[in-house]
Amino acid sequence: MRCNRALRTPWSDVVAGGWRRGAPSLDASFLCELAHDHGGDHVDYLDELAAEVHVWARWDDTGACRFVVMPPCGVVDHALDPVKREACHLTADHSSGHSWQVTDDTPSLD
């Protein structure tokens, strides 16, 4: 299971105003992508600046947030059929469970 710890973005009030005016949407909160039993900071993927250069939001349990640039983990599950293999897309320094081991149980809004 995924952590899914949420944190309101520093621009959440701007997002709310933008939604009312029909501006392009931005996320109003970050949602931790790590396994539910991870230690340390929470992280959420934001964007890819270049190959292997990703921007992440990282925050602690007090809500102190910072933005970091680091590569993704990149570990591959070699037990899978080579056609279905996918590299772990979490941060290079994540502590528990690779992305293929972490299930997202976030309720769908559809």
By DSSP bridging, strand 6-8 and strand 53-59 are: unpaired
SS3 82: coil
Would 88 be classed as within a structural domain?
A: yes
Handedness of CA 61, 103, 52, 80 (dihedral sign): positive
Over residues 77-90, mean pLDDT? 85
State the total domains in the chain. 1
Q: What is the pLDDT of residues 33-50, one digit of tens each?
A: 999 989 899 999 988 888
* Token reading at 68: 């970091």
The range of the structural domain enclosing residue 31 comes to 6-97
Q: Distances from the Cα of 99 to the Cαs of 2, 16, 20, 22, 102, in angstroms?
A: 9, 31, 35, 34, 5
**Least confident piece of the model among 21-25, 53-57, 66-70:** 21-25
Would 26 be classed as within a structural domain?
A: yes
- Judge if pTM exceeds 0.75: yes
The span from the CA of 62 to the CA of 7, in Å, is: 10
* Residue pointed to by tokens 């270049």: 50
Would 105 be classed as within a structural domain?
A: no
Q: In this structure, are residues 73 and 33 in contact, taking their beta carbons and an 8 Å threshold? A: no
